[in-house]
Amino acid sequence: MERKWFALQTKPRNELLVSKQIENKEIEFFLPLIEKIRIWSDRKKKIKVPLFSGYVFVHATEKERLHAISNTSGAIKYIFYENRPAVISDREIEIIKNAISDPEKISIEDKKIKKGDMIFVTHGIFKGMKGVVNEFRGNYKLTVNLEEITFSFSIILNSNEVSLMVRG
C-alpha cells in the first residue's frame, strides 16, 4: 500500500514526545526543527524548536496512520480536508526539508502579536515600558511607539523581547 504524508496535530509543546512515540512504532515521521535564540532574564541560549508548532508529519499507509495516533500521548488529531485526512505532497515535504537546511532564510512569524496590539517590553533597555505595535519588519522586528514618553518615537525590538498585553 502507498505511503502518504499526513499532518498530525499535537498538544502544545508535545511535538518531540509524539515523534518519539511514532518512531518507537517504527513509522516514518518528519519533525522540522530550527534553531531559535531564547532569552531569559540572565542568559541567551540557542534552542531547537519545531518549524510548525503543534504538528508532526507522518509518512504512512492508512493502517500505519491510524496506528501512529492510537495510544500516542500528546497526539490530538490528523488535519482533515473535505472529510478526508489532508495529504501533504512529497514535493511540499522536500521544500520544507530544503528550507530547514538553510535556516538563515527562515523566520517564524509570531501570529499572536499583530499591528495595533498593546505590548509590554520584557527584555532589553526598554524593559517595563508599554507600547503599540506599528509594523513588523523582517526577522522578529517590530516597531513600537512607547506611551510613557511624552513624545512618541519608534524603536525596533525583537518579538521575544515583548509580551502581548491582555485587553480587558
Please compute the mean of the pLDDT values over residues 115-126 and round it to a whole number: 74
* CA 106 to mean position of chain CA atoms: 11
Average pLDDT across the chain, whole number: 80
pTM: 0.64
How buried is residue 102: exposed, middle or buried, by Cβ count under 10 Å (0-12/13-18/19+)?
Answer: exposed
For residues 121 and 59, which has the higher predicted lDDT (pLDDT)? 59
Categorise residue 69: left if φ over 0, alpha if ψ from -120 to 50, beta otherwise: alpha
63 or 109: which leads in pLDDT: 63
Whether 57 shows a pLDDT value over 90: the answer reads yes
Structural domains of the chain sorted by starting position, each given as residue range(s) with its CATH number in brackets:
4-105 (3.30.70.940), 118-164 (2.30.30.30)
Q: For the chain, give the percent of residues with pLDDT over 90.
A: 36
Q: Which three cell numbers stand for residue 42?
A: 540572565
Mean pLDDT confidence for 119-125: 73
Instruction: Give residue 95's pLDDT band: very low, low, confident or very high (50, 70, 90).
Output: confident
Dihedral, CA of residue 58, residue 62, residue 64 and residue 67, to nearest 10: 100
What does the pLDDT read at residue 103?
Answer: 60
Q: Contact, 153 vs 145, CB < 8 A?
A: yes
CA distance 105 to 103: 5
Q: pLDDT-based confidence at 143, cuts 50/70/90?
A: low
| Backbone φ, ψ for residue 132 (5° rounding) | -120, 135
pLDDT of 96 higher than 80? yes
